Amino acid sequence: MKLHRSFFSLYFLVITTFIIFSWLLDEVWSSYLEQDIESYTGYKTMLLAVGDFIEQRPQEEWQEIIKTTSTRYQLPLSLMPANEFEKLEHAEHQHLQKDNIHVYYYDDEVTIHHVLGDSGMVLNLGPAKMPTRPRVEALIRVVILATFGILLFIWLRPVSRDLDQLKKAAADFGQGNFKRRAPNAKSAMMAGMVRSFNMMAERIKRLIEAHKELSNAVSHELRTPLARSKFALQMLATTKDEEKKAKYINQINGDIVELEELINEMLIYAAFDSDKPDLNIISYQISDLINHQIANHSQFDGDIEFINNTNNLTVDCDNHFIDRALNNFINNAIKYGGGKVRITLSENENNKGQNECVISIEDNGDGVSDDFKKIIFDAFSRGDQSRNRETGGFGLGLAIVARIMEWHQGTAKVSDSSLGGATFTLIWPIKQVSVH
């Protein structure tokens, strides 16, 4: 409501300014007329000419001459005795005087009196139309101002509406609705501000979620090995059996290693969840990167198959981060598969007509349940909720991959494989476009 009032206050302020400006123009015009008697089109010149002419004629002919001149030139000319002129009342008129010329004007009419020397007579012209600013021009001016006012209203109204929507979105977000976003701006002036707000809101939402994830990890992932170590220490202090002591010591060492790995993973994820790093985007032959990863896993006892459906595809990417994402998927396929891994490189065109690089890593393991597919790329998500260290990692690797693909304007997906297990896919545009 306040924004609406501010908008209309601004609008009426501008319109009022226009009106005052128009009034000042009229005042300047009137002042100009007052300072220049000669502005009254030629009335004064005509009056002086007639006065000079009749003064050269006998006074008894003056009335006839005035009558003839008035008829001929369609001017309201007349003669009157000077004593009658002095009795005239022009209460509502403004008066200008120069020598023996008296000018009275009011609204759009003017009356001019010319004292004819010592004759005791006064030559009158008027009332006649006074030349003021042409009414057509005044009307055009009003129309222009009104049109400008309407255009200003049309221009400012979307700004006011966008500000109102932004205010509501900010209020909802401040009340804890972290999914709230401002709708797309109707005005180009507000588009950048709305976009910045939504980016800020998304960033804050992500930070809050990361905080919750970290709290969840501390409460579950850290407490479990700590509890085991505490129990092992208590048993170690009470037993005298050397074999049991060695068992408890090994258990404590294992828990310490698990804690160290978890802390390292959390630090890596925290670094990846911070602001986007400066990517070193270069054109890279992606098949070389895949072959390099296959060579790194040469110790794998199973079979890794590489199918290249492209002709030496060159892709824009940061090869360090793409290499990390690819390594994570291959490690998962080896860890959870049944001994067979298939890597497929393809080039597709998305619904926007943009060519994309697609790398799929399949395995012949047990696959991923449909429910877990929905959250598999969330931090600390694990298919096995028992959270014991024999079941694998801490649920951060795939979240890191998702963030890497986000930096490359792409996505990471999971689906079922024809081999019987899962298919993890990396997709991103072949040509990167700068995004600010």
Please tell me what DSSP assigns to residue 74.
Answer: T
**pLDDT at residue 10, as a whole number:** 62
Phi/psi at 338 (5° precision): -110, 25
Share of the chain residues as helix, strand and coil, in percent rounded to the nearest 5: 55, 20, 25
43 vs 51: CA distance, rounded Å: 12
> In the numeric block, which tokens belong to residue 172?
């909802």
Helix (H, G, I), strand (E, B) or coil at 222: helix
Phi/psi at 253 (5° precision): -60, -40
CA-wise closest residue to 112 among 124, 97, 130? 124
Looking at the DSSP assignment, which residues form a beta bridge with residue 426?
Answer: 359, 412
Q: In this structure, which topology does domain 187-275 adopt according to CATH?
A: Helix Hairpins (1.10.287)
In terms of CATH architecture, what is 279-429?
2-Layer Sandwich (3.30)
14 vs 259: CA distance, rounded Å: 67
Low-confidence ranges of the chain (pLDDT < 50): 1, 35-39, 133, 385-391, 436
One-letter amino acid at 171 equals: A
Contact of 25 with 145, CB cutoff 8 Å: no
Domain ranges of the chain: 2-135, 187-275, 279-429
**pLDDT at residue 95, as a whole number:** 61
pLDDT tens digits, 139-181 = 676 777 777 777 777 777 787 788 888 888 888 888 888 888 8
193 vs 185: CA distance, rounded Å: 9
436 vs 409: CA distance, rounded Å: 12
**pLDDT at residue 290, as a whole number:** 92
Helix (H, G, I), strand (E, B) or coil at 369: coil
**pLDDT at residue 98, as a whole number:** 64
Helix (H, G, I), strand (E, B) or coil at 45: helix
Same fold, 187-275 and 279-429: no
**pLDDT at residue 388, as a whole number:** 44
Contact of 93 with 105, CB cutoff 8 Å: yes
The number of beta carbons lying within 10 Å of the beta carbon of residue 159 is 18
23 vs 391: CA distance, rounded Å: 85
- Could you write out the DSSP letters of every residue in 371-399? HHHTTTTSTT--S-TT--GGG---S-HHH
Contact of 302 with 341, CB cutoff 8 Å: yes
- Cβ neighbours for 383, distance < 8 A, ≥ 6 positions apart: 368, 369, 372, 376
**pLDDT at residue 5, as a whole number:** 59
Q: Would you call 15 exposed, middle or buried from its count of C-beta atoms within 10 A (0-12, 13-18, 19+)?
A: middle
- Cβ neighbours for 173, distance < 8 A, ≥ 6 positions apart: 180, 201, 204
